[in-house]
Structure 1
Amino acid sequence: MLLCFARGPGMTPQLLDVIALLVLAPALALLLAPGTRRRDGWRATVTPLASIIGSGFLVVGPILADVAGRGAALAMASLCALAWLFGSAVRFNIVHAEPLSDSGRAGSLRKLDRFSELGLSLAYFISVAYYLNLLGAFLLKGFGVVSPDLARMVTTAILAGVGALGWFRGFRGVERLEVYAVSFKLAVIAGVLAALAAVWMAVPSVRAVALPARHPGWHELRVLLGCVILVQGFETSRFLGRDYPAALRVRSMRWAQGLSTAIYVAFIALLLPHVPAGHAGAAVEETEIIDILGRVGPLLGPLLVLAAVASQLSAAVADMGGAGGLLAELSERLPPRRAYVAIVVVAIALTWMANLFGIIAIASRAFAVYYALQCVLAVALAGGRPWLRAVYGLGAVLAGVVVLFGLPAG
């Protein structure tokens, strides 16, 4: 039915809205079906998936269009491949580092692992505040209100609500909220992709991307390196050990990275023809993608606003779940419920005291430092497998390059 619409005459913006809704509705019904929500594999996949597809899918398209031109989809695939390398190291350490004792050489490696987690905890505290501040701004913008102080009040109320949910319901309560938010976000993305695909099939001129080929310089390469932060989030699986076994966390992280890669690459490829030539990607704001899609179909922009709200909420909740598990693991005495409260208190303080768009650079580098140390740990644990040591050694070097030279995209 979709193919008939796409190839038939009279491809109008209103028809594209219909196509998006025809895909969105059954996708949402499938994702919210009890049989789907109750599967441990899906619930374990939701947390890393929510964090990976956070604000990234809203901003990365125009940024990569400016940095790489018509090669943006290939650039996106390269970023996802680099994220897969880092994720492979984290998965390797789930299996080989978590069982380590605290004595001898194993104890030294265990300390290295914990040291890397300290830096990651800082990044999580900042990212939770960052995501929810964006959510507050989006909510107000939906009502035509632009007020930084009011946005902070809204963000504080949301943080208090999420913290209360974590305190009274624990991780399962936080996870349940996350499942609904991710399900809605994925359904909207499916509808938007369907509409963009319909345009691509029906209008030959769309398939000839108007953007010029680009030959990125050093600045563009640094921006591209900084975009790694936009496909970050898979490591949250590492800190769900109290709720899911290692084998399931490894498998679900692969699912999350595979699905997010398919979404990102398809989204960039289909969006690229609609990005205005000469767009200043490096200065893009999240709302610009809504304007771009609004020119494709009247409902696509508002749908993406709703998806953006769900995106920020689910990403923040995912990082909060990961941070709660991380703090509980590091302290060995702090229950996750109390960890959630500590995260909320710090996030509220950051909301009122800090310029989050400035300190997000610190969070970006903290994530990359964590990946570098995880790769170093994987090298040490690889033992007599030289090819693994070489692969994870390369990962450590690339993460170090991101730390030193990457320009944050968020």
Structure 2
Amino acid sequence: MPRLDERQRGVLRATVTPLASIFGSGFLIIVPVLERTTGAWSPLAIAGVCALAWVVGSVVRHVVREVEPRLAAGDLGRAARRLERGSDVVIVVAYVISVALYLRIMAEYIVEGLGLSSPLERERAIAVVAIVAIVVLGVRRGFTGLDFVDRVALGSVLLLVVLLSAYLLVHDVGLVAAGDWPRPPPTGASAIEIVLVLGGILITVQGFETVRFLGDEFDAETRIWASRLAQIVASVVYIGFVVLATPLMGTSVGESPDATLLDLVARLAAFLVLPLVLVGTLSQLAAAVADTAAAEGNLHGLGRAFRGPRAILISGVVAAALAATMPLFSIIAVASRAFALYYALQCLVALSTTKSRWRRVGLIVLALALVGITVFARPVG
């Protein structure tokens, strides 16, 4: 077996962060969310969402290659610098909302997996306690040295994906052999409603932009290849998993998306329910820690007023307030809106270093579409 060279090893190391972020953002909720939105059309829907994410990811990679050097050299126009500064503010907001989202998903898995009573109150309480714990950890010792948590979480998620996919494949092959291929029931949503809701789940494929913040560890080309690889792997996994899960959609719809996924796993392979809860808890906690650290780091860069523990305290208070007061589906939509606005601003920043007329037109169209998601995206249900 050929050995990897230093460049390839660096790409693999750099891939961990964006790939763990993408899976942390959406793997645990994507099937039930599509079940409620697109039903039998879910494979096409997730393919469309992944395609949009790839196009946006190409913009982020352009910014890494073309904009970052000019920004460091002070050779970027005033308007582009202001847009980049504005995007720094927006991404902080997006990451803070993501922390609330990840920990609400984590709490829901714990509550549903253990069958606790008063689920909504317990979910909110667990999420807030987890946020407090992360803030205390960040203030007392910081988040350096926790990279291994991302690696463990990513490995656990990938292992679970393989097991679930294998069982889904066996189940689907059995349906074909028996001449029975159930179609999920219609969701009753119109085409416009589906588009608006799909815009509201952009968060499920978010994470490829994290390469923007790994510049101290990896050079531009390593980060660009890591972003590509992360998106390819995530797209293959998402599309494949949704295709295999579609025949089970609509057979047992619970009150919350994660309960639906747990019900699906319970019907398919009951012994995987506990591993799903454990992996869900680990992956969401790791993603929340990573995004808290990212929000803190970006806040530090916005001015002296956010230096020291003040940045993480602000992030924690806002995330706790969101986790304690907002429905899960609403947090998903709000997070998607925040990331869509960040990506739209990145499109406008990229315009300053793009000479091709058609690419400029494409960036403007993409920016308008992302602004549309920011304004009109809807929560599921």
**What is the TM-score when the length of structure 2 is the normalising length?**
0.84
Check if 1:251 corresponds to 2:210.
no
Partner of 1:319: 291
The AA in structure 2 aligned to 1:400 is V
CA drift of 1:178 comes to 2.0
- The one-character-per-residue Cα deviations of 1:339-370 (angstroms, maximum 9, x if unpaired) are 44543344335445x32534554332111111
| Cα distance between partner residues in 2 of 1:166 and 1:289 | 32
| Cα distance between partner residues in 2 of 1:207 and 1:41 | 45
Q: What are the ranges of 5 or more consecutive residues in structure 2 without an aligned counterpart?
A: 1-8
For structure 1, which segment, 303-312 or 259-268, has the greater mean C-alpha deviation from structure 2 after superposition?
A: 303-312
CA drift of 1:153 comes to 4.5
Please tell me whether the aligned partners of residues 240 and 322 of structure 1 are also in contact (alpha carbons under 8 angstroms).
no
Partner of 1:391: 362
| Alignment partner of 1:368 out of 327, 333, 340 | 340
Partner of 2:150: 178
Please tell me whether the aligned partners of residues 203 and 336 of structure 2 are also in contact (alpha carbons under 8 angstroms).
yes
Please tell me whether the aligned partners of residues 253 and 260 of structure 2 are also in contact (alpha carbons under 8 angstroms).
no
Partner of 1:77: 47
Please tell me whether the aligned partners of residues 132 and 316 of structure 1 are also in contact (alpha carbons under 8 angstroms).
yes
Question: For the structure 1 residues 83 and 369, does the alpha-carbon distance in structure 2 shift closer, same or farther, using more than 3 Å as the test?
Answer: same
Check if 1:144 corresponds to 2:118.
no
Partner of 1:227: 201
Question: For the structure 1 residues 69 and 348, does the alpha-carbon distance in structure 2 shift closer, same or farther, using more than 3 Å as the test?
Answer: closer
Check if 1:90 corresponds to 2:64.
no
Check if 1:309 corresponds to 2:304.
no
The AA in structure 2 aligned to 1:110 is R
CA drift of 1:392 comes to 2.1
| Alignment partner of 1:289 out of 261, 266, 275 | 261
Partner of 1:403: 374
Partner of 2:84: 113
The AA in structure 1 aligned to 2:67 is A
| Cα distance between partner residues in 2 of 1:68 and 1:360 | 17
- The one-character-per-residue Cα deviations of 1:181-232 (angstroms, maximum 9, x if unpaired) are 2221221111111211222334425886421696942222221222222111
Q: Give the % identical residues.
A: 36
| Alignment partner of 2:98 out of 121, 124, 127 | 127
Q: What are the ranges of 5 or more consecutive residues in structure 1 without an aligned counterpart?
A: 1-38
Partner of 1:330: 302
| Cα distance between partner residues in 2 of 1:229 and 1:165 | 26
- The one-character-per-residue Cα deviations of 1:140-189 (angstroms, maximum 9, x if unpaired) are 33333234555444334433443444456544423222221222122111
RMSD: 3.1
The AA in structure 2 aligned to 1:175 is D
For structure 1, which segment, 70-79 or 103-112, has the greater mean C-alpha deviation from structure 2 after superposition?
A: 103-112
| Cα distance between partner residues in 2 of 1:65 and 1:152 | 24
Question: For the structure 1 residues 344 and 177, does the alpha-carbon distance in structure 2 shift closer, same or farther, using more than 3 Å as the test?
Answer: farther
Check if 1:159 corresponds to 2:131.
yes
**What is the TM-score when the length of structure 1 is the normalising length?**
0.79
- The one-character-per-residue Cα deviations of 1:265-308 (angstroms, maximum 9, x if unpaired) are 0010000111136x779x75211111022111222333322222
For structure 1, which segment, 147-156 or 86-95, has the greater mean C-alpha deviation from structure 2 after superposition?
A: 147-156
Please tell me whether the aligned partners of residues 63 and 280 of structure 1 are also in contact (alpha carbons under 8 angstroms).
no
CA drift of 1:118 comes to 0.8
Spell out the pairing of 1:343-358 with structure 2 (5 A cutoff). 343-352=315-324, 354-355=325-326, 357=328, 358=330
CA drift of 1:96 comes to 1.7
The AA in structure 1 aligned to 2:234 is S
| Cα distance between partner residues in 2 of 1:212 and 1:313 | 32
Partner of 2:3: none
CA drift of 1:260 comes to 0.7
The AA in structure 2 aligned to 1:79 is V
| Cα distance between partner residues in 2 of 1:159 and 1:136 | 11
The AA in structure 2 aligned to 1:274 is L
